[in-house]
Amino acid sequence: MHSSRTGAAAMGSPPPHRLLLLLAVAAVLPRSAAAAEGVIRLPRGRACAAPTDPAAYDRPVIGIVSHPGDGAGGRVSNGTAASYIAASYVKFVESAGARVVPLIYNEPEERLLEKLSLVNGVLFTGGSVKSGPYFETIKKVFQYVLDKNDAGIPFPLFAQCLGFELVSMIVSKDNNILESFSATNQASTLQFPNYSSLEGSVFERFDPDLIKKLSTSCLVMQNHKYGISPKTLRENVALSSFFKILTTSPDENGEVYVSTVQANKYPITCTQWHPEKAIFEFGKQMIPHSEEAVQVTQNFANYFISQARKSQNRPPADKVLDNLIYNYSPTFIGKKSKSFDVVYIFS
């Protein structure tokens, strides 16, 4: 038997695996092409055309509001008009396929509006300033977000940490609504009070195993001294009618605060925690960098930018290029600051 198989192979019969390949090729190629044993001709095809779906914008741009100070050593105000955006927020947006236009908080209002006309969504960063010109700019941008959506133009907002706190103050019309919590430099879980409320939210795209992991393992980074308790949010008519609670988290003393919310009628998502840090910041030891933590960050970035892709705004390419954050140079401050590795400074 062995010698007969060997003899057949020697006489030119192809081995079984090659015979299967030739039969498959023969099924899709003309007879003349398939007849030439050993020659595989790939089918000809047309080049991929540019996307034509007007409902999906594949070149979204996000505006990020700068924060007062230079971002180094926790300095909020250094006696100048400087402001900054941590590069981690920029990379967070870029990781999902979008670009960034910096909305410098202390620029003239007409300049701010000009830049807003170029973007498809907005991000409010973390920080500490809750008053003055910065807060006034946040209020103007937030109203712009509401106005756009009320006019039927999709325009998402993602607000993190301080951003969530400021939005809560604006919606409630109460600048004293925030409560004290001990959640500085703390990794935590996310608890889901109502799984049915996750439908249509950012968490709907999460694998069920990752949702479970979020509720049992410390996959997210908290770094705040203030927040809102579930009781306060539910009892405040303005907040409870505007937001639904997606997750809560405990601070170092076991006190529970709201950690993720989503607006009921607007594409607005807010987190008290920092999804950008798991991938792009390494200054604090408590920042989770596990594969699951990275997946959480990527899911949030993809969700936010998927909302921006629904935008009907198609800004002129040349004006976008003139205003992109690439026109500024990033500064490495990781040796003297534990808050950020890299920042963009505007002065």
pLDDT tens column, 230-280:
999 999 999 999 999 999 999 999 999 999 999 999 999 999 999 999 999
Per-residue buried b or exposed e for 195-207, using 16+ beta carbons within 10 Å of the residue's own CB: eeebeebbbeebe
Active site residue 161: yes
Asked if residues 84 and 346 have their Cβ atoms less than 8 Å apart, the reply is yes
Separation CA 277–CA 289 (nearest Å): 8
Q: Is the C-alpha dihedral spanning 38, 44, 48, 52 positive or negative?
A: negative
Out of 67, 161, 224, 270, the active site residue is 161
pLDDT beyond 60 at 165: yes
pLDDT tens column, 42-78:
677 677 776 656 667 889 999 999 999 887 755 656 5
Separation CA 111–CA 344 (nearest Å): 19
Out of 17, 218, 274, 289, the active site residue is 274
pLDDT beyond 70 at 323: yes
Asked if residues 214 and 190 have their Cβ atoms less than 8 Å apart, the reply is yes
pLDDT tens column, 6-29:
444 444 555 666 655 555 555 555
Query: Sorting pLDDT into bands at 50, 70 and 90, what band is 200?
Result: confident
Separation CA 257–CA 252 (nearest Å): 11
pLDDT beyond 70 at 132: yes
Structure tokens at 307: 């909302």
pLDDT tens column, 216-230:
999 999 999 999 999
**What's the full length of the chain, in residues?**
347
pLDDT beyond 80 at 208: yes
pLDDT beyond 60 at 31: no
Domains and CATH numbers, the chain: 2-35 (no CATH), 61-332 (3.40.50.880)
Mean pLDDT of 172-179: 97
